[in-house]
């Protein structure tokens, strides 16, 4: 079933490229992948930290290379996020003026690449699936984007290519740092070797730094963040939904899957550096977000800013903090996808996303105003949404990590500063809501039409998931905690 979820969008993309009806095929594949993911959730055995539904095909015995897929609690959450956002993005796409088949195929390749990376247990395919998703991103921005789309496409390609190259060096060094008898591309084998202390502390420091920089560029960690706002502002809405909501989470997933469990000494060594950089995401990028005068640029910068909270949870290396990071990864993916979808519909109807040219749109687009309000409230961490549950766990987990009676620890300082980020995000999000949907309606927007009934389904899906997992975050906690407890407890005791 895991293999089916991976191959469903990829096979559908190939069929579309050879002439199958684009929208119908993409929607069918998205629905099937989402339904299969729900089956995986229903059959998932909670309380186990091992991978389930494992499928393996040997490719190179001498290299111990095999195409191995499976899920644990962490990867299942990521696959669920990918299938929900894929379904919403495909549904929002509608009719494309030029190269419609290619557009839908690119969306599905991004989805398939992300799902494949999340469900791969083999390092080689973990990396290869992510690279599969990068080329369609470049094409979607460069061909179907808006504004200075060509420059934005090249900028994101150069940044992500550099990040991927640095990441590749780190993965190669990780593979070679394990003794020959334990050397394997299988993440389970590498994790077992790391738990036995077979990766030297000095090697861990070098490898972790490479992984942090490589993944950090892909995630838009400060100061490697400048590619993201421009790319998202120029990208068509479905592409921004998939990249900001799903593909960018690959780097965060990689840190949780590889860097923390395999390289605990390296993580400890570079903790202070990571804390300083993530505060740059929260404070500096947050202040830059307030200064934005366009809705699309504001959403792009806000996406970068919220990565800082997730980094804080990962850096805390506590069960509570890392679990909160997973919940916030899922919640942010849904909320930013919702906001980009609505912004794309506004741009399609008005031709502009400049705040000073909008205003009062809720009078003619009440459903869009309500949905955007839900997205805003989720993004600022209003209780009842999944974002709040993730953020509160991160703050408590990070503060607990710095609990020392004799001095004020760096994690306590970072948590206190990060709390100001909640205030900053509230300022720019509510300002954007007021500028776009409240106030006096410009006469030229009297002819705008609200979301048609078909578009309300993906909006309801995204909002419903945010509320569902906001009220019942323990669903995710029970799935991901056993895995984190296994290696975090071992690392604390060493």
The torsion defined by the Cα of 94, 329, 119 and 258, in degrees rounded to 10, comes to: 140
Q: Which of 391, 394, 399, 372 shows the shortest CA–CA distance to 470?
A: 391
For residues 254 and 182, the answer to whether their CB atoms sit within 8 Å is no
DSSP assigned state of 439: S
Q: Which of 122, 288, 314 shows the shortest CA–CA distance to 215?
A: 314
pLDDT (tens, 9 = 90+) of the chain, 494 residues, equals: 888 999 999 999 999 988 888 888 999 999 999 999 999 888 888 777 778 888 878 777 777 778 888 888 889 999 999 999 999 999 988 777 788 888 899 999 999 999 999 998 888 888 989 888 888 988 888 888 887 888 888 888 899 899 999 999 999 998 888 887 777 888 888 888 877 778 888 888 999 999 999 999 999 898 888 888 888 888 888 999 998 889 889 989 999 988 888 888 888 888 889 999 999 999 999 999 998 888 989 999 999 999 999 999 988 888 888 899 999 999 999 999 999 999 988 888 888 888 888 888 888 889 988 999 999 999 998 888 988 989 999 999 888 875 554 456 788 888 888 889 889 999 999 999 998 888 888 888 888 888 888 888 889 999 999 998 889 888 888 888 887 777 665 455 44
Q: Where are the domains of the chain?
A: 270-494
For residues 328 and 390, the answer to whether their CB atoms sit within 8 Å is yes
Query: Crossing angle of helices 319-350/73-93, nearest 10°?
Result: 0
- Structure tokens belonging to residue 471: 């009220």
End-to-end CA distance of the chain: 38
Bond into 223 cis (ω within 30): yes
Q: Give the whole-angstrom CA distance, residue 467 versus residue 460.
A: 10
Q: Give the whole-angstrom CA distance, residue 76 versus residue 78.
A: 5
Where helices occur in 18-122 by DSSP H, the ranges are 22-43, 73-93, 100-119
Q: Tell me the HSE value of 55 on the side-chain side, using a 13 A CA sphere.
A: 10
Model confidence, pTM? 0.90
Q: Which of 410, 428, 404 shows the shortest CA–CA distance to 306?
A: 428
For residues 317 and 488, the answer to whether their CB atoms sit within 8 Å is yes
């Amino acid at each position: 079933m895991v293999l089916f979820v991976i191959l469903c969008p990829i096979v559908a993309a190939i069929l579309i490229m050879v002439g199958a009806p684009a929208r119908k095929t993409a929607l069918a594949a998205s629905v099937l992948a989402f339904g299969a993911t729900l089956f995986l959730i229903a059959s998932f055995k909670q309380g186990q930290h091992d991978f389930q539904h494992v499928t393996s095909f040997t490719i190179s015995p001498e290299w111990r290379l095999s195409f191995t897929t499976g899920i644990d609690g962490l990867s299942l959450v990521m696959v669920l996020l990918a299938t929900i956002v894929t379904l919403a993005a495909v549904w929002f796409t509608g009719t494309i003026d030029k190269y419609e088949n290619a557009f839908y195929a690119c969306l599905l390749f991004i989805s398939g690449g992300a799902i494949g990376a999340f469900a791969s247990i083999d390092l080689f395919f973990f990396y290869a699936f992510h690279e599969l998703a990068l080329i369609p991103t470049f094409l979607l921005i460069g061909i179907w984007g808006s504004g200075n789309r060509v420059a934005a496409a090249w900028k994101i390609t150069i940044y992500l290519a550099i990040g991927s190259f640095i990441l590749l060096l780190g993965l190669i060094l990780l593979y070679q740092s394990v003794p020959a008898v334990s050397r394997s591309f299988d993440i389970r084998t590498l994790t077992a070797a790391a738990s036995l202390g077979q990766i030297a502390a000095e090697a861990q420091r070098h490898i972790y730094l490479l992984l942090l920089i490589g993944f950090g560029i892909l995630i838009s960690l400060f100061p490697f963040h400048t590619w993201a706002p421009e790319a998202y502002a120029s990208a068509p809405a479905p592409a921004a939904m998939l990249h900001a909501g799903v593909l960018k989470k690959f780097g965060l997933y990689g840190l949780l899957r590889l860097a923390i469990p395999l390289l605990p000494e390296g993580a400890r060594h570079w903790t202070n550096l990571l804390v300083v950089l993530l505060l740059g995401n929260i404070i500096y990028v947050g202040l830059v977000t307030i200064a934005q005068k366009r809705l699309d640029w504001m959403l792009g910068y806000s996406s970068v800013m919220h990565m800082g909270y997730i980094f804080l949870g990962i850096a805390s290396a506590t069960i509570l903090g890392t679990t909160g990071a997973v919940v916030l990864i899922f919640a942010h993916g849904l909320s930013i996808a919702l906001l980009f979808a609505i912004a794309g519909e506004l741009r399609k109807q008005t031709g502009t996303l400049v705040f000073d040219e909008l205003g009062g749109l809720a009078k003619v687009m009440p459903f869009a105003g309500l949905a955007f309000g839900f997205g805003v409230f989720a993004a600022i961490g209003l209780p009842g949404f999944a974002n709040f549950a993730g953020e509160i766990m991160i703050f408590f987990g990070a503060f607990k990590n710095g609990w020392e009676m004799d001095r004020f620890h760096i994690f306590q300082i970072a948590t206190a500063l990060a709390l100001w980020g909640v205030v900053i995000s509230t300022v720019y999000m509510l300002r954007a809501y007021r500028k776009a949907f409240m106030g006096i309606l410009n006469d030229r927007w009297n002819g705008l039409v609200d979301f048609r009934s078909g578009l309300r389904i993906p909006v309801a899906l995204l909002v419903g998931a945010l509320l569902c997992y906001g009220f019942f975050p323990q669903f995710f906690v029970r799935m991901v905690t056993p895995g984190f407890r296994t290696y975090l407890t071992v690392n604390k005791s060493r």
